[in-house]
Amino acid sequence: MKTIDELLAEGVAGKRVFVRADLNVPLDGTTITDDGRIRAVLPTVAKLAEAGARVVVASHLGRPKGAPDPAFSLAPAAARLGELLGADVAFATDTVGESARATVAGLADGQVAVIENLRFNPGETSKDDAERGAFADRLAELADVYVGDGFGAVHRKHASVFDLPARLPHYAGYLIATEVGVLKKLTTDVQRPYAVVLGGAKVSDKLGVIDHLLERADRILIGGGMAYTFLKAQGHEVGSSLLQEDQIPAVQEYLRRAEEKGVEFVLPVDVVVAPAFPDLKTKAPAHPTTVAADAMPAGQMGLDNGPETNKLYQSKLADAATVFWNGPMGVFEHPDFADGTRAVAQALVDSPAFSVVGGGDSAAAVRILGFDENAFGHISTGGGASLEYLEGKTLPGLAALED
């Protein structure tokens, strides 16, 4: 895999460089609530611009239905990128149409443009190779060189991620190079003890990575909504908590295998419950109570780890040499249910371990809860991509960058 440093050594002045970024930021209307993914691609874009490239940045945002939708416009991301660069960033109002062609043609050396949301074109996500390839052909007309730096999208077989690199000289940007280097530390020559913390809503989203990590991790700590399927699998009442009943047999098998292999599986011993899911807009008091994990009342919903669980999890992370964390421990967006996620983040900050925060909600949580990003070994920009890498899957976007 060639890197951007090799491209810069070859010279990029005057060349149109297509940077496939991940600007898929959370929006409240047109306000960006977390610009972490924009800042993550900044080193690549800035270095190319400094070297005189004409930089064309492209990304998806959200899940539009293959047609323009103002709610998913990249215009706010383009404006924020310009603020971070300290330079004007041109914005094309389409992907490969008249505006994109004119905007790219108008770039001078060292200038940057962002084209509109790639998923406004059905060819970006099409499962039909010909349709996807046709869109990639039109994207290729906008550039001389391709730089892949949208790690959060490399697990997708999409036109701009998989097909476009085959049509242009291609290189890995700084972000992708860093992400792959970090993930290799979690899969080869891992420093032990190796602890994994998995949370989030659905256990089904994590089955593959749990299966893979049972062969590699020393201990696995479970929290978030997925914990209640594990507790149910042990025969406990979980009230009205999030539950994937159909996953109970798989969870029971993982618990059996973990015991067989000597992998420590750590589940909550107490949980914070409330009668209903909290209002995340008003942050109104949710009237939480704490109960033992094996004594949840039938009419209550588990929404966070309890204080004894937080102490337990911190103790299980204190001596780890390597930690991978993906998924919050509770509904961290509400102050009544943020302590579990805060406790895990603080444990990683306090630990000398090499810690990786695995993207998505976990990355957003550490920022929202006020932690210094530099206190962690690495904060990934790609939750799904990180998980699939750890599952041992071939990621289309990384395979496309190989020579």
- Residue 360 among the catalytic residues: yes
Q: Please tell me the predicted confidence (pLDDT) of residue 387.
A: 87
Catalytic residue among 148, 360, 382, 383: 360
Distance CA 107, CA 79 (A): 17
Catalytic residue among 148, 306, 383, 384: 384
Q: Please tell me the predicted confidence (pLDDT) of residue 123.
A: 98
- Residue 119 among the catalytic residues: no
Query: pLDDT at residue 84 above 80?
Result: yes
In the chain, pLDDT over 70 holds for what percent of residues? 100
Catalytic residue among 15, 37, 47, 232: 37
Q: Please tell me the predicted confidence (pLDDT) of residue 268.
A: 98
Q: Please tell me the predicted confidence (pLDDT) of residue 150.
A: 96
Dump pLDDT digits (tens) for 332-357: 999 999 999 999 999 999 999 999 99
Residues 6+ apart with CB under 8 A from 140: 18, 164, 167, 168
Dump pLDDT digits (tens) for 184-224: 889 888 999 999 999 998 889 888 889 999 989 999 999 99
Query: pLDDT at residue 241 above 80?
Result: yes
Dump pLDDT digits (tens) for 123-165: 999 999 999 999 999 999 999 999 999 999 999 999 999 999 9
Query: pLDDT at residue 36 above 90?
Result: no
Catalytic residue among 2, 138, 202, 393: 202
Q: Please tell me the predicted confidence (pLDDT) of residue 131.
A: 98
Q: Please tell me the predicted confidence (pLDDT) of residue 391.
A: 86
Residues 6+ apart with CB under 8 A from 360: 200, 326, 327, 382, 383, 384
